[in-house]
Structure 1
Amino acid sequence: MLQIAVVGIGNISPAHIEGLLAFPDRCQIVALCDIYPEKAERAKEKYHLDCRVFDDHEKMLKSGMTIDVVHVCTPPYVHGEIAIHAMDSGCHVVVEKPMATCLKECDAMLEAEKRNKVTMACIAQNRFRNQIYKLQKVLESELAGKICCAHVNSNWWRGHCYYDLWWRGLWEKEGGGPTLNHAVHHIDMLNWLEGRLPSGVMAMLANLMHDNAEVEDLSLAMLEYSDGSLAQITSSVIHHGEEQGIELQCANAKLSFPWSLKAEVSRSNGFPEDGGNRELMDKLQTLYEEIPDLTYEGHTGEIDDILSAIESGTRPLITGEDGRKTVELITAIYKAGFLKERVSLPISQEDEYYSFDGILNHAVRFHEKSASVENFMDAGITLGNYKR
């Protein structure tokens, strides 16, 4: 029975708590920690937990109680610090997205994992959605051919007051806008589907609807891979409808999430034949339908995978190395947007953008955040196309 602590009892913590509670024979929540302990007390009462409450993660780690796994659900700027402290205390760690605010922090976390011989997993729960999981399996079959062009839409909508929360909208606290904190899901998916990082990135950033935030509320990025194929990423919190998706234009067919497919076949003059390549589309659809559904989806699915990895001494599906790749691509998008020029990957340790201080020194501050609130009374969140 693994003993679990959850640090940071904000909007995303219910997904972790409820996911953990789905496996009562495998794990037990023994501690909740938040700098606002009353939030932890409310969660303890809501979920009928027999656990201790702390207002500081270091107090928790030094309390003498047995903790096997720490879930880090705090704002991004303290992910690295808390994760490293937990691993240095001998705990396995599950880090919410994004893994950290910069590559330097990611590498320090990976070194702590290696040094302490523990497991660190990074949350990218949308890999554990049936449609995305099956899309990856269909792509893996190679029936659709290689990816030639990918379109990634991380389209969300957040009201002006979203950035009133004290840590949001500040480069030094949130680490960025939707490119880092919303599109992180889709960027992880893109890296997973491509199986590689791009060789170059160009980007533009803007803040159009949130004058209470320093960070961008919209970014558009173009990616180029070593074989010349391209990808486009829209990262937004200004899109009405919150319609997210990934479209893969492959050599033989188009595959999309939400699931759809299309395959053309050429007439003698090069124009597409009416009805397309029905034989290939039928094969792809049959393959998709024959892939069994996941037992658990979302955070619960990823928590199941992480528990299994810790129990068996194997690696989780989404490792710290995966989290680092996502942060590297996001860093490249910010660098390209700040400089307004093409940026090459990988980003070296000598690059100014390798550290958070370097990012902060170059960050474009669109507006000044002049007022804030400590907490929102309404803790409800929306998930766009996704169901928890």
Structure 2
Amino acid sequence: MSQPSYRAAIVGTGAIATAHARAVAASGGRARLVAAIDVDPDRATAFAETWQVPRVHTELAEVLREGEVDLVHLCTPPQSHAPLAIVCLEAGVTALVEKPPTLSLAEFDALLEAERHSTAHVATVLQHRFGAGALRLRRLADAGELGRPLLATCATQWYRDEAYYGVPWRGTWESEGGGPTMGHGIHQFDLLLAVLGPWREVTAVAARRARSVDTEDVSMALVTFESGAVATVVNSVVSPRQTSELRFDYERATVEVEHLYGYTDDDWTVTPAPGHDAVAGLWSKDHSDVPSGHDGWFAAVLDALDGGQAPPVTAGDARRTMEFIAALYASAFTGERVRAGEVSADFARRMDGTGTPWEKVRNA
């Protein structure tokens, strides 16, 4: 029996849409783009010509009414993610949502409720989970080959200048939902959470150090996991030497990756603990030069759909990451340690909760 070919539409034809179009093109015919949608018809037309998309629209509703689409890739600014995803779910169409999937934890719960009443699914694009190195690490850890996880460090230290924030929706709680904690570091610490499992509590700080934005431009957190492992998480958009780093210290080895926006196996290193040299051999099996990115994530989505399953990253997976973000902000802005399941209503509704320290100073 031949594999199905899923009909896909892309909403929002800006820069990130190119990664989605490439992933569809790389699927080997398992999916095909049938519509490009953008409020700017000229931009949508140019995108459609580049990627040989047959139809151009200015509204998602037009495409859903026609009933000729199976998947919708949401590549719009964050404030529109949840409303558009809910419209897709109501139409029985699976929504593939760029990060962050929603502006708040409460909005994410509304998305979960919409999924419960739909035959379709919603999945968040957190593509670093699907690179060969991450998959290998999770496989070895789950098999007990690395021993207990003890300590981890996670750093997203990027640089975004003032011109970057000239785009109106960037740098505000109302339209972006947060700063680098929400929109930049999410890739690295989502992988941290995917590897180490359920987190238990967070103690954090967040600050606005250099950018003229409403949100933070740096944050740091100390995290304890249910396994007992502890981790540090750093998120920044003010760091001239840019890097994305993860380090996992297990009983039998240290496993590290340093990259920027995507990794290959060459970016990973393994340092066995004394007496555990066999770990290096286990790691070196099945070496891959394929970079992490949207291609691997989308292939995993198609595999799940072929099997009648919810595509990764599931709504439940993404909710754990969104709750972590809300807890980090709640701890940073209240000075309190926040446990999983105990994010207050204020910070569930808005990531800035009752207000940031710098906003309170300005209004004093």
Is contact 1:126-1:132 (8 Å) kept?
Answer: yes
- Matches of residues 275-294 of structure 1 in structure 2 within 5 Å? 277=274, 279-280=275-276, 282-291=277-286, 293=288
- Matches of residues 30-41 of structure 1 in structure 2 within 5 Å? 30-41=34-45
Instruction: Between 24-33 and 234-243, report the one with greater CA deviation.
Output: 24-33
Matched residue SS, 1:172: coil
For residues 342 and 103 of structure 2, the distance between their equivalents in structure 1, rounded to whole angstroms, comes to 14
CA drift at 1:45:
1.7
- Does residue 216 of structure 2 align to residue 238 of structure 1? no
Identity of aligned residues (%): 29
- Structure 2 unaligned segments of length 5 or more: list them: 259-267, 360-364
- Structure 1 unaligned segments of length 5 or more: list them: 265-276, 368-388
Deviations 1:48-80 (A, max 9, x none): 322x22222233323x24111111111112111
For residues 338 and 47 of structure 1, the distance between their equivalents in structure 2, rounded to whole angstroms, comes to 45
For residues 331 and 171 of structure 2, the distance between their equivalents in structure 1, rounded to whole angstroms, comes to 20
Matched residue SS, 1:116: coil
For the structure 1 residues 56 and 227, does the alpha-carbon distance in structure 2 shift closer, same or farther, using more than 3 Å as the test?
A: same
Deviations 1:9-40 (A, max 9, x none): 12211000110011252222111112222221
Other-structure match for 1:317:
312
Which AA in structure 1 matches 2:182? Answer: L
Is contact 2:63-2:69 (8 Å) kept?
Answer: no
Which AA in structure 1 matches 2:240? Answer: H
- Does residue 42 of structure 2 align to residue 3 of structure 1? no
Deviations 1:163-194 (A, max 9, x none): 11010011100000000101111121011101
Other-structure match for 2:90:
88
Matched residue SS, 1:144: coil
- Matches of residues 134-153 of structure 1 in structure 2 within 5 Å? 134-153=136-155
CA drift at 1:218:
0.6
Which AA in structure 2 matches 1:210? Answer: R
Q: Please, which of 48, 52, 65 is the counterpart of residue 44 of structure 1?
A: 48
Matched residue SS, 2:256: strand
For the structure 1 residues 238 and 288, does the alpha-carbon distance in structure 2 shift closer, same or farther, using more than 3 Å as the test?
A: same
For residues 214 and 310 of structure 2, the distance between their equivalents in structure 1, rounded to whole angstroms, comes to 38
- Does residue 45 of structure 2 align to residue 53 of structure 1? no
For the structure 1 residues 347 and 294, does the alpha-carbon distance in structure 2 shift closer, same or farther, using more than 3 Å as the test?
A: farther
Deviations 1:240-281 (A, max 9, x none): 2221111112223221114223344xxxxxxxxxxxx1x41x
For residues 57 and 363 of structure 1, the distance between their equivalents in structure 2, rounded to whole angstroms, comes to 34
For residues 49 and 323 of structure 2, the distance between their equivalents in structure 1, rounded to whole angstroms, comes to 39
Which AA in structure 2 matches 1:135? Answer: L
For the structure 1 residues 323 and 226, does the alpha-carbon distance in structure 2 shift closer, same or farther, using more than 3 Å as the test?
A: closer
Matched residue SS, 1:97: coil
- Matches of residues 322-361 of structure 1 in structure 2 within 5 Å? 322-347=317-342, 351-356=345-350, 359-361=351-353
For residues 248 and 351 of structure 1, the distance between their equivalents in structure 2, rounded to whole angstroms, comes to 33
Matched residue SS, 1:204: strand
Other-structure match for 1:362:
354
Matched residue SS, 1:362: coil
Is contact 1:87-1:118 (8 Å) kept?
Answer: yes
- Does residue 159 of structure 2 align to residue 167 of structure 1? no
Which AA in structure 1 matches 2:279? Answer: L
For residues 165 and 296 of structure 1, the distance between their equivalents in structure 2, rounded to whole angstroms, comes to 29
For residues 361 and 225 of structure 1, the distance between their equivalents in structure 2, rounded to whole angstroms, comes to 24
Normalising by structure 1, we get a TM-score of 0.84
Is contact 2:35-2:53 (8 Å) kept?
Answer: no
Is contact 2:204-2:331 (8 Å) kept?
Answer: yes
Deviations 1:133-171 (A, max 9, x none): 222223233232111111001111112211110100111
For the structure 1 residues 290 and 31, does the alpha-carbon distance in structure 2 shift closer, same or farther, using more than 3 Å as the test?
A: same
For residues 292 and 202 of structure 2, the distance between their equivalents in structure 1, rounded to whole angstroms, comes to 32
For residues 105 and 86 of structure 1, the distance between their equivalents in structure 2, rounded to whole angstroms, comes to 16
Higher strand proportion (structure 1 or 2) = 2
Is contact 1:135-1:256 (8 Å) kept?
Answer: no
Matched residue SS, 1:49: coil
Computed over aligned residues only, the root mean square deviation of the Cα atoms, in angstroms, reads 2.1
Other-structure match for 2:270:
261
